[in-house]
Chains A and B, each alone.
Chain A
Amino acid sequence: MTAISGTAIGKRAAAASSRTMLLAAFFVVEVAALGIFVPGWLTVDGLLDTSRIFIESGLLALGMTFVIITGGIDLSVASLLALVSVVIGFSHQAGLPLPVAMVLGIGTGVGCGLLNGAIVAYLGLHPLVVTLATMALFRGGAYVISNAAAYSEYPAWFTTIGGFYIGEVLPAQLPVFAVLCVLAWMILEKTPFGRRVYGLGENEQAVRFSGINVAHLKLKVYGLMGLLAALASIIETSRISTSRANMALGLELPVIAAVVLGGTKVTGGSGTIAGTLLGLLILSYLQDGLQFAGISSDWGLFITGALLVLGVLVNENAGRNRG
């Protein structure tokens, strides 16, 4: 009889951590290479400043990691980000005090997330189809509310949320993001909810037979995604101090890319927050470096795609070796 160690997820955890190490190594090499070949890019200020941009997709990626681990997907996140921003902006324009408007925006985010979850859970439709529809729905809603106009009459206190620097270099949202990452990691790895998220992705039927309410679980996961989309929306709105219906257009792509590159399997049941974070850093700094070097953003997209193919291949092989 063998002793039982720690949280005892065994081989799975070993595979996941070796993959995380691989990603970390890749990230270091990437930054070093960019530092060498793109003169002037590698500065502490520059690295920190770039975080202002990826934190928004980072927040979405945290939620997306949960969603994809359950075996789902949420294509509507970028649209929801725009909708929340527009709701805040135009309810403020209509005379609502800004804090109230922000609460309304967060409510919108959570509500729309729950809507996704409810359709998936209670109507049994595939999340891909559901969120493809709500992706259009939320974006359309943003256009209708804003009447295709922009709103940027934000007070100064609001714009510091996404524009304030601690000690002149550290963007204020970075520590907030770091705390949220740790929180997400703890929830996923150390709480009953996190366990159920993994379980749902690997074998939904067994979760049901374990006496767990699968519908409620899905509602929570998509609701959490909506909440994070609302937070990302507030930070972005503050950073650019504008609300527009075409904000974050196509942002769901890099978000999903970061999660998948980070080792989360699209078939569900495995994935880590650390992996997602590394996937996010790798993609964001690569794009930033290429942009800095004056290479066209089309190339950036191309390279993102190539990395993704690579990531998916590694995932597939990791799965095969296990069997």
Chain B
Amino acid sequence: MGQVLTSGSIDGPRPVTSESTRPDQGLEPTLGAVPVHPSAAAGQDSRVLCHMRGVGKRFSGVWACRGIDLTVLAGEVHAVIGENGAGKSTLMKLLHGVHAPEEGTIEIDGRALTFGSPRDAEAAGVAMIPQELDLFPDLSVCENLYVGRQRPRTRFGVFDWAAMRREARAVFAKLGIEIDVRAPVRSLSSASAQMVEIARALIRDARVVLMDEPTAALSQQEADRLFAIVRDLCARGVGVVYITHRLEEVFENADRVTVMRDGARVHTGPSRDLTTHSLVQMMVGRPLQKFFHRTARSPGAVALKVEGLTRRGAFEDVSFELRKGEIIGLAGLIGAGRSELAQAIFGIAAADSGTIAVDGRPVSIKNAATALGHGIAYLPEERRSQGLHLNFSSPWNIGFGNLGGLTRFGWVSPAQERRTANQYQSMFSIRGDMNKPVGGLSGGNQQKVLLSKLLFQKPDIIMLDEPTRGVDVGARAEIYRIIDELANAGKAILMISSELNEVLSMADRILVMYRGRLNGPYEGPDFSAQEIGFATAGVRVDGTEARP
């Protein structure tokens, strides 16, 4: 991850209002006469790179998106927003040749094209960074860049790896990222893996780059870095379409915004004409009452006490106390060791030394089964590989973590399973066909199923690792409300999040992890955003470097 994470490259923590994040600044000269009104962009303009006319796609008879018109202009950042399951990813997949549209046409440079596969789309200059990264974990960074692409050969006819590595290094240099191109992708952090996907788009000289929730797994600093790259791409005339659930980003980075609801496009227009309020109104179809929920509570007895916990190479000498009815926010950069810490407490990969006590009694947690036995549950950060069984239905998945809770006289009770799933479906308003494999749900809805699975384990100590990753505003508010309720009911909650806003607004106390060591706790409820933002980067407010 190298440079991406060092403190030197960081302008400052959120909220950033400085000019550096406004897209107009660097772009205006190259953009020239980008039409700001969508009506002017419709069709005839020479800056239209790509035009989708009335496209639609069905899954087993149900339209995931329908009748959508979308233009991508050279040098613009075009944000696509909408609730979970609104059809955003599906729309991008149509443009990237993953699915074929069942109605409508796609024009690139004014020519109508049909893509049989992503390879066709890439040949036409459309690259995509999918919602769920699809790199080959065991291949090197360099090999991944060249998958499905003509590779240079030496004059002896064998692949010229030296040339490929040179080219790969050049691309990463252009991105300003330090990365070992020979390292297997498995060894990278998710932020770096994201960068590999971006490099893959660059090396193909894509003119339209689609990004499906690229910032969902990134912390603020990493997201800023990404947007710097995006602006650079735009300056070279590339059109970038990106999906996000973080609405602030839209105002900071996008030129135009398309809002989708229930598979239809409800609005396209310049971002400067919009407010968070109007965006939410269009996405959800009604105004949002309250986003963050935090009740004043007085925490109870210590539920979890961790002392001197160490795992070499991951985290060191970690001590903290988590009380009943308390939410501790664990902030930090990706790769700081937060997930490793939670997973050590959950028994997935045990710590080398240190002690854990639950309700004042020291416990030895050898695996996740014993952790669960002590009432500790963990919401994993990688929902597809660690969380869900994608080929099985949502009820199956929700029940899987607590099969005992569905069992009557030794048999799994289908009625009980149905009741449980219905209950969580309405609690989180999960959208999509619950009887189908959970892998077919939209990303945000998969996350809701995962949260349901965790709650059904009925834990007392809850560790949430990026609980709202990929979840839309409405559902996010709902999740915050549920987390708050859980704390009110006396549960002890440790919430890992890379979204500083979320931590600042939800937590009673905040711990910050930097390179495997804890700083804090910072006492709430009035946190200094700046202090904590700096701490995640290992810098004290007075400018001195924090420990270590």
Could you list which residues of chain A lie within 8 angstroms of chain B, going by C-beta atoms?
Answer: 1-2, 4-12, 186, 190-192, 195-196, 198-199, 202-203, 205-206, 208-216, 269-270, 322
Contact = CB atoms under 8 A, between A and B. Distances in A.
A206 B426 CA distance: 24
Contacts of B412: 7, 190-192, 195
A213 B411 contact: no
B418 A270 contact: no
Contacts of B372: 211
- Chain A interface secondary structure, helix, strand, loop or mixed? helix
B392 A198 contact: yes
Contacts of A269: 389, 391
A270 B390 CA distance: 12
B157 interface: no
Given A2-B434, A8-B395, A209 B390 contact: no
Nearest to A210: B401
Nearest to A10: B435
Given A192-B404, A209-B348, A4 B385 contact: no
B503 to A, nearest CB: 23
Nearest to A269: B391
B520 to A, nearest CB: 27
A268 B418 CA distance: 26
17 contacts: A2-B433, A2-B434, A8-B417, A8-B418, A195-B399, A195-B403, A198-B389, A202-B392, A203-B388, A209-B368, A211-B401, A211-B457, A212-B369, A216-B369, A269-B389, A269-B391, A270-B391
Contacts of B387: 206, 209
Contacts of A196: 403
A9 B385 contact: no
Interface string B443-470: 0000000000100010000000000000
Q: A5, A10, A202, A210: which has the most chain B beta carbons within 10 Å?
A: A210
Interface string B325-363: 000000000000000000000101000000000000000
Nearest to B400: A210
Interface in B408-439: 410-412, 414, 417-418, 421-422, 425-426, 431, 433-437
B453 A1 contact: no
A322 to B, nearest CB: 7
Those 6 A-B pairs whose CB atoms lie nearest each other, nearest first: A211-B372, A192-B403, A213-B369, A10-B435, A210-B401, A211-B368
B436 A10 contact: yes
A33 B12 CA distance: 79
A12 B377 CA distance: 29
Given A1-B431, A4-B418, 6 more contacts: A5-B435, A8-B434, A10-B436, A191-B407, A209-B348, A211-B377
B380 A203 contact: no
A213 B367 contact: yes
Contact of A202 (B389, B394, B421): B389
Contacts of B400: 195, 199, 210
A205 B393 contact: no
Contacts of A202: 389-392
Given A8-B395, A190-B411, A203-B389, A209 B435 contact: no
Contacts of B346: 209
Contacts of A195: 396, 399-400, 403, 412
A269 B439 CA distance: 14
Contact of B414 (A6, A11, A208, A211): A6
A12 B391 contact: yes
Contacts of B44: none
Nearest to A319: B391
B385 A203 contact: yes
A12 B371 contact: no
A138 to B, nearest CB: 30
A272 to B, nearest CB: 14
B251 interface: no
Contacts of A6: 414, 418
B378 interface: yes
A267 B399 CA distance: 23
A4 B422 contact: yes
A65 to B, nearest CB: 17
B39 interface: no
A2 B85 CA distance: 14
B395 A4 contact: yes
B386 interface: yes
Contacts of B422: 4
Given A9-B396, A212-B369, A206 B389 contact: yes
A205 B349 CA distance: 12
A177 to B, nearest CB: 23
Q: A186, A202, A205, A211: which has the most chain B beta carbons within 10 Å?
A: A211
A9 B348 contact: no
A10 B426 CA distance: 20
Contacts of B386: 205-206, 209
Contacts of B391: 12, 202, 269-270, 322
A198 B437 CA distance: 14
Contact of B437 (A4, A10, A192, A203): A10
A2 B435 contact: yes
A4 B433 CA distance: 8
A9 B457 contact: no
A5 B414 CA distance: 9
Contacts of B425: 1, 4
Contacts of A12: 391-392, 437
A56 B24 CA distance: 76
Interface in B297-332: none
Contacts of A213: 367, 369
Nearest to A202: B389
B393 A8 contact: yes
A211 B388 CA distance: 13
A8 B28 CA distance: 54
A199 B389 contact: yes
A11 B389 contact: no
Nearest to A196: B403
Contacts of B414: 6-8
B411 A4 contact: no
A196 B377 CA distance: 18
A11 B410 contact: no
A186 B410 CA distance: 11
A1 to B, nearest CB: 7
Contacts of A9: 392-393, 396
A203 B390 CA distance: 9
A1 B410 CA distance: 31
